[in-house]
Each structure stands twice: as C-alpha cells, then as structure tokens.
Amino acid sequence: MGTAQSHVEFRGVGKTYDGRTMVVRDLDLRARRGEFLTLLGPSGSGKTTCLMMLAGFETPTEGEIRIAGRPVHDVPPRKRGIGMVFQNYALFPHMTVGRNLSFPLEVRGMDAARRAECVRRVLALVRLDGFEARRPDELSGGQQQRVAIARALVFEPDLVLMDEPLGALDRRLREEMQFEIRRIQRELGVTVVYVTHDQQEAMAMSDRVAVFHRGRIEQVASPETLYEEPEGEFVARFIGDNNLLRGRIVSVGPDTCEVETPGGTVRAFPVHRHRPGDRTVLAIRPERVGLARTGVYSNIFEADVEDIAFLGDHLRLRLDLCGNPAFIVKIPNTVGHGAVLRGDRIRVGWGAVDCRALPDDEGARAVEAVAA
C-alpha cells in the first residue's frame, strides 16, 4: 500500500478553540492500515484534541483529515464508523453489559439473534465471557475497561481510537491491559490511534509513536528509533534518560563533529547540518557511557564520582562533567560492589555515534519567536 492508501491522514491540520492560541499546529500525520500509532506528549500538548477531530467531535480550524483517502470534514461522528474508548470508559450506567455491547448493533438494525452472537464473541475476545447481565457499576475498573474496549470493537470498525484508556488503572493492571490491547489489535488487524502521556506505555505498545509538544509533532518514529535516534532536545529528554551537554560546534566532518563544552571538546554525531559556531545540545544515554579502561572511546573524560547508587544489576553514578553537574552513568554490575566509590576520580568515555549533536531548542525557539 502506498502513501495514498494511508488509513488515517492529517494534512496541515491546525486547531484553535478561542481563535487566538493554536492548540494544534501544522499537523501532518499518517497511520497505515493495521498500524498501532500512539500520540505521546505531556499534558496539554493537544493529543486529545487530535483524537476528537479524528472522531468528528471537533472540527479542524485549518487543514484536512482523511480516512481511507476520503476527506471527512462533513461526515458526522456516527457515520465515521470509528470505535472509540474514552478515558473514563463512558459505559452507559443504566444498561447492562450486554445492552451496552448490543447498543451499536441495535442502532445498525441487526436482528436479536445475531446481536447476541456478536456480543458473546466480543466478550470472549476481552475474556469476560458470561458478564452480559452485570451492570457497569458491578464491575471492577479493569473489567469496565474491557467492556469499553469490547463496545468499541463489537460493530467491527477498522479504526479504533483510545484516549488514555489505562489512565485510571493501577500499575499491574495497566501492564496486563497493555498486552491485552496489543493482542486484540493484532488478532483483529484494526488500526489503532492511541493517546497516552506515559512514554513506557507508548514504547511497549506501539508500531510508531508521534511525540507531541505544544501542539506540534516533534518526531514520528518507531519506539527503537525514538530511543536511539532522537532528532531534537525534547524527544531526547522525554523518551528515556539522557545526559544533555550544551556547547558550540567547532568543526563538522561527514560522520562526526567537534563540539566545545565547558569541560572540553567532545566528538559527536551531527544529527542536523550544523555549521561551525552553531549552538548545540549533546544527548548521551547513561548506559552508553563506560569506564574508560574497559573500552575504546572517541571521548574520554576524567571526573569525580559525586554520588553512587548500587541498584543490583547496575551501578548508577553521578558525575560533574562538561558543565552538566548531574551527568548520570549506568555501569553494568560486572565488577561488583566496591569497584567504584564515592569521591573516586574515574575516567569515563563514550563513542561519537552514541553522542548525538542536536539543534539547541533555545536557539530554535528564539528563531521561531522572530519569525512569528
């Protein structure tokens, strides 16, 4: 399937509620058929707004949304054929589970026998066989969640939207439900657009993740790519842990660049076309930094161990390095407790490929402000 066959497509979508602040800006986003796409971002970054526009409960101020290649601006929500799971489930409290599930089938005019069959099947899918006669207030949070998912699937939509569906559950149940949702999605082959502000949840479930920040998409990529190859400071900070070092580009080669930091010159991988003199932010994962005697590194620095935490499988060191007073290093516990102590002066190093030179966001923001 080519790009024309994207199941969901946002083209230059913008949205403002009050006519002044754009809560979503210049949004271009595609989901392939059968894809699990997650919108990830901090609170207020516009994720729900995007989902509501896709479902038809809000209209875009600018741009166009297409489903299966067709613009949907004049299609009301009930005709979009989208299954929707709301954060607080939105189960009808005055109907039993069975009636909740058969509601979408009734409004489609399906006969009673087939309805009962569909309800039974979908309850089996979410592992709630025999719960037809219960009322929503007689179910646990996790069970209500499953009913909400079942109701969004029972009329066999090929697109399902979920807005923080696991937000109200405790951690154990969340993890269990993450697998359940993923299993169901694979089993049915439906396209899922999922909203969360929990990056671990996004990483665990998604084929691709769109990282939202202030109404814009910072990066859309697979979880691996987001982790290994963040393209901006926000993603580097938001996904996993990263050590950030601020500095200025000194020289740029094909695969490496040299960056001057308060602690010395660092060799890094240039993510953008930097020019000498540009300000940059270096992002280095704590687990990619090693003790200098155990590896061959393009960057080697000496630093005092400010603090150390023994975490069983690894040691977590805090160093004051290259202008970052809280530079974290994770060292696998192959050397045993006591090999490194607080106050030791140690040599650490990392490869240039593990050190990504990103555009400095403060600089970018300044440019943005001038342009606006």
| Site residues (CB under 8 A) for other proteins, limited to 113-142 | 136-137, 139-141
User: Does residue 232 belong to the site contacting ligand ATP (CB under 6 A)?
Assistant: no
CB of residue 233 to Mg ion, shortest distance in Å: 24
Choices 40-48, 171-179, 320-328, 351-359 (CB under 6 A): range interacting with ligand ATP: 40-48
Cα–Cα distance measured from residue 48 to residue 345, given in angstroms and rounded to the nearest whole number: 49
User: Does residue 81 belong to the site contacting other proteins (CB under 8 A)?
Assistant: yes
CB of residue 41 to other proteins, shortest distance in Å: 21
Choices 46-54, 93-101, 108-116, 251-259 (CB under 6 A): range interacting with ligand ATP: 46-54
Choices 37-45, 72-80, 142-150, 259-267 (CB under 6 A): range interacting with ligand ATP: 37-45
Residues with Cβ within 8 Å of residue 95, at least 6 apart in sequence: 103, 135, 136
- Which position among 103, 182, 292, 333 is part of the footprint of other proteins (CB under 8 A)? 103
Q: Are strands 355-359 and 264-270 parallel, antiparallel or unpaired?
A: parallel
User: Does residue 280 belong to the site contacting ligand ATP (CB under 6 A)?
Assistant: no
- Which position among 75, 86, 252, 287 is part of the footprint of other proteins (CB under 8 A)? 86
| Site residues (CB under 8 A) for other proteins, limited to 288-327 | none
CB of residue 87 to Mg ion, shortest distance in Å: 7
Give the helix ranges, DSSP H, for 94-193. Answer: 97-107, 112-125, 141-153, 171-188
Under a CB-based contact definition with an 8 Å cutoff, are residues 84 and 160 in contact?
Answer: yes
**Pick 44 or 71: Cβ nearer ligand ATP:** 44
Closest CA to 354 of 264, 235, 227: 227
> Which stretches of the chain bind Mg ion, using CB under 5 A?
48
